[in-house]
Amino acid sequence: MTRAQIPPEERLTNLVVALMATEIGLTKQQILENVSGYRQRSAAGVKMDALEKMFERDKDELRALGMPVETIGDPSDPQDLREARYRIPQADYDLPADIDFSEAELAVLRLAGSVWSSESVSSDAQAGVRKIRALGIDGDEPIIGFAPRIAVRDAAFPALQEGIERNRVIVFDYLKPGEASSTRRRVQPLALVEYEARWHLFGVDVDAAGERTFLLSRIVSDVKVTGQAFDPALRDGAADRALSGLAAVAASHSALLEVTPGTEAALRLGRRSTAAVQGMRVPYVDRHIFADELATYGPEVRVVEPDDLRESVIARLRAIVDAHSEEERA
């Protein structure tokens, strides 16, 4: 029986089975000689150091899949991995036995898992739902009639998530509105937050040495995950800090607007406003994004203050007039 090409998933799955079947752990030697996928290569005369490298990569791959691969070193010298043993402790692998889900809970989680439009996040959510179904739960009463959708079309999303999960500094080019060119940012990513229907990255800007919030839509390069690690404790409570920071910005920035009653602007802005002597006050987080929205209302709204918001709206309206003034060029 010669099986020259054993696919990697077969070798990896056999490795998981082997590492879970052992209490005391297996040495690298035992794994390379006995686990199917390595064993055949070993017998076919593949060099030992090539096989060892393969095992190192496989181990990383399993850890990336969430497998708790444990290394048991020499107790007298933990740095010495020559005699190290490897195993996957069953207790760290299994979904704890006291976690159970009802059919109604499965229905809620199915709806929660259906909101993602991004393929990578959606498949993570579906894989999670599948694990619950593998427990034997089959809620057949789905919550119908609601279609909540989170639009994560920002291409940066998966890399940002990886940076957060692995506590690694990320690097990207960020273009602030009104600036001619982007700047390179090095960031310790802590949380991703959707606020007012836009995704924000919250993290520590390494060069500015302070916590900052970035809009994903303004990241103009690929996001690179570096090898530079940071203390995972920085992530504690990060999402709450990000949300309260955004809420504080909205509370401290508000525009005074005159709005024509009965119009689209009155309907849409009215929901978020408080009455003022001259029109209404509407809080906002980002001047440029709010100016984009206000421009869509054309003559239905006039910005009284602040000045910078008013100037931003005027600049947009003027650019639209300019773009459409000459006769159409075919």
Query: Where in 105-164 is the site for another protein (CB under 8 A)?
Result: 105, 108-109, 111-116, 119, 121-131, 133-136, 143, 145-151, 153, 161, 164
Give me the least distance between CB of 217 and another protein, in Å please.
8
Yes or no: say if 123 and 131 are a contact pair by the CB < 8 Å rule. no
Binding of another protein by 267 (CB under 8 A): yes
Query: Does 95 sit near another protein (CB under 8 A)?
Result: yes
- In whole angstroms, give the CA distance from residue 154 to residue 173: 14
Asked if 94 touches another protein (CB under 8 A), the answer is yes
Interface pattern 27-66 for another protein (x via CB under 8 A): ---xx-xxxx--x---------------------xx-xxx
**Residue closest to 282 by CA, chosen among 258, 261, 263:** 258
**# binding residues, another protein (CB under 8 A):** 126
Q: How far apart are the first and last CA of the chain?
A: 69
Q: Round to whole Å and give the CA distance between 242 and 200.
A: 9
**75 near another protein, rule: CB under 8 A:** no
206-225: which residues touch another protein (CB under 8 A)? none
Nearer to another protein, 77 or 217 (CB): 217
Work out the angle at residue 283's Cα, subtended by the Cα atoms of residues 234 and 213, and round it to the nearest 5 degrees.
Answer: 20
278, amino acid identity: Q
Residue type, 47: K
Please report whether residue 176 would count as binding another protein according to CB under 8 A: no
Q: Which of 168, 212, 253, 302 binds another protein (CB under 8 A)?
A: 302
Q: How far is CA 107 from CA 13, 113, 141, in A?
A: 31, 10, 7
